[in-house]
């Protein structure tokens, strides 16, 4: 239960950084909210690889490696998107910094979720 509360708290902190980067009156542009799409699609390759891959005892599988590759691409794109928006002056650099901080916290939260609940024990995300 403590891990779930900690992950919820860190997710709320990450989303707060994202909302501050959008909603502060000085910044006032909501383009960085498109980063939410990356948050939602980030775990999908892992879920697909987990479902397709039958060799859970193998050290490496092509499906799992492809899922890591796609997940890395999604995470890098999520960090690159606000930088590109700031570079073309669609958002201010301060908003970019807040969104990047939110990205770091949210992706570490997603990683923590898979580390805590992805072990396959009695209390795991596979049952949900």
Environment class of 59 (CB within 10 Å of its CB; exposed 0-12, middle 13-18, buried 19+): exposed
Considering the domain boundaries, does residue 81 fall inside one? yes
Considering the domain boundaries, does residue 78 fall inside one? yes
pTM: 0.83
Average pLDDT over residues 86-113: 94
Considering the domain boundaries, does residue 125 fall inside one? no
**Which tokens go with 71?**
């997940």
CA dihedral in degrees (105, 4, 41, 39; nearest 10)?
-30
Q: What total of structural domains would you count in the chain?
A: 1
Considering the domain boundaries, does residue 111 fall inside one? yes
Percent of the chain exceeding pLDDT 90 equals: 59
Structure confidence at residue 69 (pLDDT): 94
Domain that holds residue 75: 1-20+41-51+58-115
Using one digit for the tens of pLDDT, what is the confidence trace for 56-75? 556 668 888 899 999 999 99
Considering the domain boundaries, does residue 28 fall inside one? no
């Amino acid at each position: 239960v403590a891990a779930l509360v900690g992950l919820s708290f860190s997710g709320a902190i990450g989303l707060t950084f994202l909302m501050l980067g959008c909603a502060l009156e000085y910044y006032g542009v909501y383009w960085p909210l498109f980063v939410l799409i990356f948050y939602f699609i980030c775990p999908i390759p892992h879920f697909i690889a987990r479902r397709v891959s039958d060799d859970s005892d193998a050290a490496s599988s092509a499906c799992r490696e492809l899922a890591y590759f796609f997940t890395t691409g999604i995470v890098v794109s999520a960090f690159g998107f606000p930088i590109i928006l700031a570079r073309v002056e669609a958002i201010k650099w301060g908003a970019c910094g807040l969104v990047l901080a939110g990205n770091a916290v949210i992706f570490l939260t997603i990683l923590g979720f898979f580390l805590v609940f992805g072990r396959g024990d009695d209390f795991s995300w596979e049952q949900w």
